[in-house]
Amino acid sequence: MSKLFTLSLLLAFVTAFGCSQAPDGFPTVVPCTVTVTDNGQPVSGASVLIDTVPTTPSLSVAAETDNQGKAAMFTFFGGHSAPGVPVGNLVLTIFKEPEVPDMKSTAEIDEMGYEKAQAYMVEIEAKRAKLPRIVPVELTNPKTSPLTIDAAAGKRIDWQVKLEDYRK
């Protein structure tokens, strides 16, 4: 491998992941993935959020599921981010809205003008409210979500969530 290639690879890594020092108060994190399925099928495009218990102000832990239903969690605090979740008591919530058939694209909505776009979005939300929920409602609120874990330092978390287990 040439020195130029190695240097380019190192530069790409530093640019992508940064070399800034974590701010004071940045928590210790452990690697964490969350896989969301529904009746054995991956759920893509779901927002996965994790809250600390008790809540830590200005701390965010989030990711979005990919085509395999997997989300690699990231912690954000004080302008710094790191892959993983904070050590401690955590509660997981999941969000994914049902897709409304034949919904216009963002560009088409933008071309409508403000008032027409607002009316259109009210119509879309009314249609969406009639569609079956993808994620059971209890999993969308940290106060009602039964998805909790105590993350220990040095222990990787691979969280499997089967939505069908939470339907009544």
Q: What is the CATH number of the domain that holds 144?
A: 2.60.40.10
* 71 and 109, same domain (yes or no): no
Q: Provide the pLDDT for residue 11.
A: 38
Residue ranges in the chain modelled with pLDDT below 50: 1-19
4, part of any domain: no
Q: Provide the pLDDT for residue 21.
A: 73
Read off the pLDDT of residues 50-61 as tens digits, 9 standing for 90 and up. Answer: 999 988 888 999
Alpha-carbon gap, residue 90 to 137, rounded angstroms: 18
How does strand 85-86 pair with strand 88-95?
A: unpaired
| Overall number of domains in the chain | 2
* 94 and 154, same domain (yes or no): yes
Domain that holds residue 56: 26-98+133-166
* 71 and 32, same domain (yes or no): yes
- Cα-based distances in Å from 54 to 23, 50, 88, 121: 20, 12, 9, 36
* 59 and 108, same domain (yes or no): no
6, part of any domain: no
* 114 and 40, same domain (yes or no): no
Residue 4 DSSP SS3: helix
pTM of the model: 0.78
Q: Provide the pLDDT for residue 20.
A: 59
55, part of any domain: yes
* 160 and 139, same domain (yes or no): yes
Q: Provide the pLDDT for residue 24.
A: 80
* 122 and 139, same domain (yes or no): no
E-assigned strands of the chain?
29-30, 32-38, 41-42, 47-52, 59-64, 70-72, 74-77, 80-83, 85-86, 88-95, 148-151, 157-162
11, part of any domain: no
Write out the two tokens for 11. 């530069």
